[in-house]
Amino acid sequence: MSDSKIRNMEEFAALSGVSRPTVSKYFNDPESVRASIRTKIEAALEHHDYRPNIFAVNQNRKLTKNIGIIVPYLADPFFAEIARRIETLVIAEGFRPILLSSHGDTNLEVSNLEALRQIKPAAVLLAPLGRTSDRQAIMDFCDNVPTVNFDSNIEGAGEAFIGHNNVQATDVMIQYLTRTGEPPVFFEMRTPPNPNAIKRRNAYLAAMERLGHTPQLIQAEGEGWNLEEIGYETAKRAITNKELSTNTVFCSNDRLAIGFLSAAYELGVKVGHAEGCSLRVAGHDNHPFSRYTCPTLTTISHNYDLIATRSVEIVMSMIESEQRLEERPTTLLDGELIMRASA
């Protein structure tokens, strides 16, 4: 590797003995040039460590090789984990992921969209805030940039939606809980940031009715994304005041459940499905930490890998076909019951 600095493609082309337009062609698609030429260029590359200026390249292309990823809250391990997998897949496809977090803030979400639009990404994977999203801003964005919506469904936004089958998942858990003990109380936020929570609430109510049980909602009052704390405080109150009408609690998501377990532990309430336990607690999401709670959390798994894989698959097919999808296919991934110690 010679240390001679190459300023631009012109210089590099001269060094490799190939014309600049051909070199340009090579960098856009190595297969598009003759093997003999390719060899020359790649030989030169080994000696001179040149790569095209990314800004100049992107300025002259309608679309870049960038793929934007927006998640609502990256400090939530659920989204961190999904983002990690999506990034890995995107890189494997030869694109460059640009990961942005909205940090739970509507304005930041909008400015993330604007930032991405400027970058002219080939496509965007968007997990919106949900209830607090600026719907109009998102729709505008999706008109201009091919987008796949995942996790939180903003009706009509993007070319496709990949999300959880909240109804199926909720049903499975309720079935399991009722078959193994008392029917569950539903533990959630009154105004959850994420629309999945609303779907889960409704699914709970419907399932309980169908099964002939009386539903009970315990609704936490907090706002924002500090879910463990909200779950903890509300659980402490609910347990202390004996608000629970049954000995079984189904939490709208694992982070609330983690807060619940913490409160129960502190109050000396033994949680679990085993003999001698006075309370059963289940969650929803298969949060990365749910495997290590005390007791380990029975929950519904939403396959991280699958949601990432499917989202990227659809994005790639959109990019290849170079056209928008006429319909808006909706993929709802089934959840899987993860039986652990807590319920």
Partner DNA sequence: TATTATTTTTAACGCGCGTAAAGAAAAAAA
Partner DNA sequence: TTTTTTTCTTTACGCGCGTTAAAAATAATA
Give the Cα-Cα-Cα angle 29, 142, 110 (nearest 5 degrees).
Answer: 110
Q: Using the rule CB under 8 A, which residue among 58, 132, 246, 247 binds a second copy?
A: 58
Query: Residue 341 and residue 261: Cα distance in Å, rounded?
Result: 12
Question: What residues between 181 and 240 interact with DNA by CB under 7 A?
Answer: none
Nearer to a second copy, 43 or 294 (CB): 294
Pairing of the two strands 66-71 and 96-101: parallel
83 contact, one of a second copy, DNA, none, CB 5-8 Å limit per kind: a second copy
Q: Tell which one of 9, 127, 220, 256 touches DNA (CB under 7 A).
A: 9
Which part of the chain contacts a second copy (CB under 8 A), choosing from 166-174, 224-232, 278-286, 311-319?
Answer: 224-232
In whole angstroms, how close is the CB of 332 to DNA at the nearest point? 38
Cα separation, 329 vs 166, in Å, equals 17
Q: Which does 107 bind (CB under 5 to 8 A by kind): a second copy, DNA, none?
A: none
Report, in Å, the least distance between residue 338 CB and DNA: 48
Indicate whether 21 belongs to the interface with DNA (CB under 7 A). Answer: yes
State how beta strands 299-301 and 336-338 pair: antiparallel
Q: How far is CA 174 from CA 182, 185, 257, 335, in A?
A: 10, 10, 16, 13
Return d(Cα 243, Cα 230) in angstroms, integer.
Answer: 16
Q: Is 2 in the site for a second copy (CB under 8 A)?
A: no
State the binding partner of 36 from DNA, a second copy, none, CB within 5 to 8 A by kind: DNA
In single-letter form, the type of residue at position 173 comes to M
Residue 334 CA to residue 168 CA, distance in Å, equals 6
Residue 19 makes contact with DNA by CB under 7 A: yes
| Site membership for DNA, residue 64 (CB under 7 A) | no
Task: Report whether 251 contacts 240 (CB < 8 A).
Answer: no
Strand partners, 331: 162
Segment near a second copy (CB under 8 A); pick from 24-32, 38-46, 78-86, 276-284: 78-86
> How far is residue 111's CA from residue 241's CA, in Å, rounded to a whole number?
44
Least separation, in Å, of the C-beta of 55 and a second copy? 4
278 interacts with, out of DNA, a second copy, none, CB within 5 to 8 A per kind: none
CB 203 within 8 A of CB 188: no
28 belongs to the binding site for DNA (CB under 7 A)? yes
Residue number, 50 or 187, with CB nearest to DNA: 50
In the list DNA, a second copy, none, the entry touching 33 (Cβ below 5 to 8 angstroms by class) is DNA
Site residues (CB under 8 A) for a second copy, limited to 275-334: 288-289, 291-296
Is 267 one of the binding residues for a second copy (CB under 8 A)?
no
One of 1, 46, 60, 268 touching DNA (CB under 7 A): 60
Choose the one of DNA, a second copy, none that binds residue 306, judging by a C-beta under 5 to 8 angstroms depending on kind: none
Contact present, 131 and 193 (Cβ < 8 Å)? yes
**Using CB under 8 A as the criterion, which residues of the chain lie in contact with a second copy when the complex forms?**
51, 53-56, 58-59, 74-77, 80-81, 83-84, 87-88, 91, 96, 98-101, 103, 108, 115, 118-119, 228-229, 232, 258-259, 261-262, 265-266, 288-289, 291-296, 341
**Using CB under 7 A as the criterion, which residues of the chain lie in contact with DNA when the complex forms?**
7-10, 17-22, 24-25, 27-28, 32-34, 36-37, 52-53, 56-57, 59-61
